């Protein structure tokens, strides 16, 4: 059985192996030591881990696991790999379901078998959405964006190819140009063949100044997948909503301001909303559980407003 210690953004991982860890920065600062897990991570003995999170050994074990996650992520996320994944998942031939069915599916394979720990994934989604709703009552598209931003994590599910965590979660970054040094565990890009390929390892690589992020291939993960699903199914969310979904794990940009030379004016406008959103994604955690049935009608009305009733995934 597996579990994680951080309750806000956790996918569980009954079938995933120890090395498939994932991290997301939780606090400002960018020190890899401050990483916490987006999507949870798996320890050799998760029960013990849950109980010993604060002790030094568990802490250093956690860091090693996170580091190993990024080592594997950085060596595998090549231009070629991303192109292949985009083509493969861009076909949207895996299944058909509604947004709410996807929320339920994601919830289902979260490990809820340990009553001492955590909350279902749906709580993270609803807490993010409800916190935004409280502060930005008129921006209903932003509430919905909060609700659906992590649905791409279904890539971990067997019916979506059961991708390894390094291809689903963790920080994202452009491929096809030089990796910025602010990328977490930058040193591991040395193991990526693109790092040594002159076509891909210059500041602009295959891109040009101000070309717009839409023209930039990002490392493959749940952000990019959910964006594809939303776009191809003709979601009518405003451009900022789609931008948030697509780049919410792009920490080098929204936290460090890297890769600005690839952005166009629309990206810069949208980035303002991503900054707003990111705060809620990270800090909306609360002890007050949201009553799903109570808020569901509101979110169903938003889903109906911005999405078709069935989507291709
Ligand atoms: Fe996410
Ligand atoms: Fe999230």
Q: Residue 216 — pLDDT band, cuts 50, 70, 90?
A: very high
Please determine, for residue 245, whether its predicted confidence score (pLDDT) is greater than 60.
yes
194 CA from centroid of ligand 2 (Å): 29
pLDDT beyond 70 at 291: yes
Looking at the CA of 122, name the nearest ligand: 2
Q: How far is the CA of 198 from the centre of ligand 1 (A)?
A: 32
Q: Does residue 113 have a known ligand-binding role?
A: yes
Q: Is 150 annotated as a binding residue?
A: yes
Flag the least confident range among 96-110, 123-137, 204-218, 294-308. 96-110
Ligand 1 centroid vs 130 CA: distance in angstroms?
Answer: 16
Task: Calculate how far, in angstroms, residue 120's C-alpha sits from the geometric centre of ligand 1.
Answer: 15
Mean pLDDT across the stretch 58-71?
88
Residue 54 marked as a ligand binder: yes
DSSP states along the chain: ----S--SS----TT--TT----EE-STT--GGGEE-SS----TTHHHHHHHTTSHHHHHHHHHHHHHHHHHHHHH--HHHHHHHHHHHHT--S-EE-HHHHHHHHHHTS----TTS---HHHHHHHHHHHHHHH-TT-HHHHHHHHHTTGGGGGGSGGGT---GGGTSS---BSSSPPPTTSTTGGGGGGSGGGG-TTTSSSSTT--TT--GGGSPBPPSHHHHHHHHHHHTT----HHHHHHHHHTT-HHHHTT-TTGGG--HHHHHHHHHHHHHHHHHHH---SS---HHHHHHHHHHHHHHHS-SSEE-
Is residue 157 annotated as involved in ligand binding?
Answer: no
Q: What is the pLDDT at residue 285?
A: 64
**Domain ranges across the chain:** 78-312
When pLDDT is averaged across residues 232-257 and rounded to a whole number, the result is: 98
pLDDT at 295 > cutoff 90: yes
Tell me if the pTM is above 0.85. no
Distance of CA 55 from the midpoint of ligand 1 (Å): 27
| pLDDT score of 113 | 40
Residues 5-24 have a mean pLDDT of 31
CA of 73 to the centre of ligand 1 (A): 16
How does pLDDT run across 122-151, given as a tens digit for each residue? Answer: 888 999 999 999 999 999 999 999 999 999
Question: CA 289, CA 26: separation in Å to the nearest integer?
Answer: 20
Query: Has 9 been labeled as part of a binding site?
Result: no
User: What pLDDT shows up at residue 286?
Assistant: 67
pLDDT of residue 29 exceeding 60: no
**Ligand nearest to the CA of residue 8, numbered in listed order:** 2
Q: How confident is the model at residue 7 (pLDDT cuts 50, 70, 90)?
A: very low
What was the pLDDT predicted at 55?
Answer: 54
Query: What is the Å distance from ligand 2's center to 39 Cα?
Result: 9
Q: Which two tokens stand for residue 261?
A: 């030379």
Task: Measure 281 CA to ligand 2 centroid, in angstroms.
Answer: 5
User: How far apart are the CA of 139 and the centre of ligand 2, in A?
Assistant: 19
């Amino acid at each position: 059985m597996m579990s994680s210690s951080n309750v806000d953004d956790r996918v569980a991982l009954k079938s995933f192996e120890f090395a498939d860890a994932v991290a997301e920065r939780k606090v400002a600062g960018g020190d890899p030591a401050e990483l916490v897990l987006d999507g949870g991570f798996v320890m050799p003995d998760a029960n013990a881990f849950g109980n010993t999170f604060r002790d030094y050994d568990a802490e250093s074990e956690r860091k090693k696991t996170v580091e190993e996650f990024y080592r594997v992520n950085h060596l595998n996320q090549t231009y070629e790999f991303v192109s292949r994944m985009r083509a493969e998942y861009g076909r949207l031939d895996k299944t058909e379901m509604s947004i709410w069915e996807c929320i339920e599916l994601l919830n289902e394979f979260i490990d809820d078998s340990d009553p001492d720990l955590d909350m279902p994934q749906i709580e993270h989604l609803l807490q993010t959405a409800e916190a935004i709703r409280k502060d930005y009552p008129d921006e209903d598209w932003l509430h919905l964006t909060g609700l659906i931003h992590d649905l791409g994590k279904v890539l971990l599910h067997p019916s979506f190819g059961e991708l390894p965590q390094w291809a689903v979660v963790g920080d994202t970054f452009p491929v096809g140009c030089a990796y910025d040094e602010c990328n977490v565990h930058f040193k591991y890009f040395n193991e990526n063949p693109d790092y040594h390929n002159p076509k891909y390892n210059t500041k602009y690589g295959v891109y040009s100044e101000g070309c717009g992020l839409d023209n930039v291939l990002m490392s493959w993960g749940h952000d990019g997948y959910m964006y594809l699903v939303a776009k191809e199914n003709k979601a009518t969310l405003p451009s900022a909503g789609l931008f948030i979904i697509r780049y919410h794990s792009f920490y080098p940009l929204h936290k460090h301001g890297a890769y600005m030379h690839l952005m166009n004016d629309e990206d810069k406008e949208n980035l303002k909303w991503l900054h707003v959103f990111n705060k809620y994604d990270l800090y909306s955690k609360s002890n007050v559980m949201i009553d799903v049935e109570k808020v569901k009608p509101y979110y169903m009305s938003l889903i109906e407003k911005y999405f078709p009733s069935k989507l291709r995934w």
